[in-house]
Amino acid sequence: RTRNEVLFFPSKMACINHIFAPSSPQLCFCPLPHGVETSFSRLLRCILSASSSLDLCVFSFSNMDLSRAVLTLYSRGVTIRVLTDKDYAAITGTQIGVLRKAGICVRCDVDSVYMHHKFSVVDNRLLITGSLNWTRTAVQSNMENVIVTEDPDLVRPFIKEFQKLWLHNDPA
């Protein structure tokens, strides 16, 4: 059966530290609830399931937990490509500079008015897409949706579109 899941936001707040280190014992003393599954923890798990590649195409990226997820994947040797909007790459609180400094390959859309996508593809197999920018407000305060699917009819066009945009915005 093809994996198909819809997540709605705002997400409840809960500790997500254990998701980053599933194998080590869970001793966290932060004030957030523990052992609670939320839309955001589901989203993080999907992203952190990447074992070979993560292609991310997102308008606005300032969420520090999501940045931590991308950096974690990078430290595990996962190939990361980030495509973002040229204007929003420079705003306050953006994580784009952090990713770049870590060595992650980032390209900015230079042509369109807004590069307004909010999708990612995990291991060329799992599509994560919807209305949700990778910001704290989107996760914690807005009404948002995210579709997580392995349906090839949906995943394939996004892989193709990412490739097109990536090549088109070649910094060379």
Q: Which residues bind Zn ion (CB under 5 A)?
A: 15, 17, 28, 30
User: Residue 7: helix, strand or coil by DSSP?
Assistant: strand
User: Residue 168: helix, strand or coil by DSSP?
Assistant: helix
Residue 6: contacted member of a second copy, Zn ion, none (CB under 5 to 8 Å, by partner type): a second copy
Residue 12: contacted member of Zn ion, a second copy, none (CB under 5 to 8 Å, by partner type): none
Which among 2-10, 31-39, 73-81, 90-98 is the span making contact with a second copy, rule CB under 8 A?
Answer: 2-10
How far does the chain reach from its first CA to its final CA, in angstroms?
42
Q: What is d(CA 87, CA 103) in angstroms, rounded to the nearest whole number? A: 21
User: Beta-carbon neighbour count of residue 163 at 10 Å?
Assistant: 12
Is residue 145 close enough to count as binding a second copy by CB under 8 A?
A: yes
Identify which of residues 105 and 147 has a Cβ nearer to a second copy in the complex: 147
Amino acid at 135: T
Burial 132-155 (b: 16+ CB within 10 A, else e): bbbbeebbeeeebebbbbeeeeeb
**What is the nearest approach in angstroms of a second copy to the Cβ of residue 114?**
4
Is residue 84 close enough to count as binding a second copy by CB under 8 A?
A: no
Question: Among residues 140, 126, 117, which one has the least CA distance to residue 66?
Answer: 140
- Residues known to be catalytic: 116, 118, 123
114-143 residues near a second copy, rule: CB under 8 A: 114-119, 129-132, 137-138, 141-143
Residues contributing to the site for a second copy (CB under 8 A):
2, 4-6, 8, 10, 59, 109, 112-119, 129-132, 137-138, 141-145, 147, 149, 151, 153-154, 157-158, 161, 165
